[in-house]
Copies of this chain bind each other. A is one copy, B any other.
Amino acid sequence: MDYPESVALVDVGPRDGLQNEKQPIAAADKIALVHRLQAAGLKRVEVTSFVSPKWVPQMADNTEVMAGIDRQPGVAYSVLTPNMKGYEAALPSRPDEIVVFGAASEAFSQRNINCSIEESIERFRPVVEAAQAAGIHVRGAISCALGCPYEGEVAPSRVARVAGLMKDIGVQHVGVADTIGTGTPLKTQRALEAAFKHYAVREVSGHFHDTYGQALSNTLAALELGVWQFDTSVAGLGGCPYAKGATGNVATEDVVYLLHGMGIETGIDLEALADTGAWISGVLGRQTQSRVGRALLARRAG
């Protein structure tokens, strides 16, 4: 088996992880989280979302957070932009990358953004054009690529279709996202291969949720196809909005442990990362969702 020699992780904790938190989180804490992540060696961080505060009040401080970051050379800061208004609001914050999105499930698209998949992608066309004119990298997130809370199974052909639509409007990279965490290794490989119909391996990343505990085996399955980019969330920040009380994003710590154990480089200091996970979990008044984080804490406690 030919595994990648190194892997690049995008920590989506500050955005995807925190966006559904009901409790107020100070902008200073969000900024500190980004600082700790980059100090631990993360080279890509999804910082915030430029979405209406009516829909996602937790991200209302987007401009403040972006302005507060002490940017490090070599680190890319990305933001979610759901539409042209969001893009225009994000622009003064100089993101290195914007993230646009579409669902692989028609039912999910209709119920979540009230339009068809095709319409939803088409609406991003001017956003992508504007970003490219401004030299900003565009990443596309394909949600529900491995299962839908309304439709259940999602065929790989649906993933290929969204990938094709994204390619058509100029999106440079796609993330295959298991939004509800129901995916398993072979399904993951089929979904990634569907994305490969329109994108090179280096333009595809995996975004796996750990709701059913499958995220690391799906990551292993993706590595076996040569995929070397993944979205992860420190401390496993982020719940699963479709299964109350269940976990969401896979913890960055758990993925780093897997990779380092396989001799795959990440450039990340696991101990510093686990400290970051413990710290932000403390800010939120809970235990870290990362199994590695818990095990390392338990080991230190003796």
Residues in A lying within 8 Å of B, measured CB to CB: 1, 181-187, 210-214, 216-217, 219-221, 224, 240, 243-247, 251, 254, 257-258, 260-263, 290-292, 294-295, 297-299, 301-302
20 other contacts beyond A212-B254, A245-B301, with CB at 8 A cut-off?
A1-B224, A185-B220, A185-B262, A186-B262, A187-B261, A210-B291, A212-B292, A213-B257, A213-B292, A214-B216, A214-B254, A214-B257, A217-B219, A217-B258, A220-B221, A243-B299, A244-B301, A246-B291, A246-B295, A246-B299
A-B contact pairs, 6 of them (CB 8 A): A213-B290, A214-B257, A214-B258, A245-B298, A246-B295, A247-B291
Minimum Cβ distance to chain B for residue A172 (Å) = 29
Query: How many identical chains are in the complex?
Result: 2
A263 proximity list for chain B (CB < 8 A)? 186
A214 proximity list for chain B (CB < 8 A)? 216, 254, 257-258, 261
Minimum Cβ distance to chain B for residue A72 (Å) = 29
Sort A-B residue pairs by CB-CB distance and give the 5 closest, nearest first.
Answer: A184-B261, A213-B291, A243-B298, A216-B217, A213-B254
Minimum Cβ distance to chain B for residue A270 (Å) = 11
Nearest B residue (CB) for A239: B298
Minimum Cβ distance to chain B for residue A212 (Å) = 5
Given A212-B257, A213-B216, A213-B257, is A262 in contact with B184 using a C-beta cutoff of 8 Å?
Answer: yes
Query: Please, how many angstroms separate the alpha-carbon atoms of A263 and B210 in the complex?
Result: 20
Please indicate which of the listed interface residues A182, A243, A247 has the most CB atoms of chain B within 10 Å of its own CB: A243
Minimum Cβ distance to chain B for residue A199 (Å) = 23
Given A185-B220, A219-B217, is A212 in contact with B295 using a C-beta cutoff of 8 Å?
Answer: yes
Asked whether, in the complex, the Cβ of A291 is within 8 Å of the Cβ of B211, the reply is yes
Minimum Cβ distance to chain B for residue A154 (Å) = 13
Please indicate which of the listed interface residues A181, A187, A217 has the most CB atoms of chain B within 10 Å of its own CB: A217
Query: Please, how many angstroms separate the alpha-carbon atoms of A257 and B187 in the complex?
Result: 13
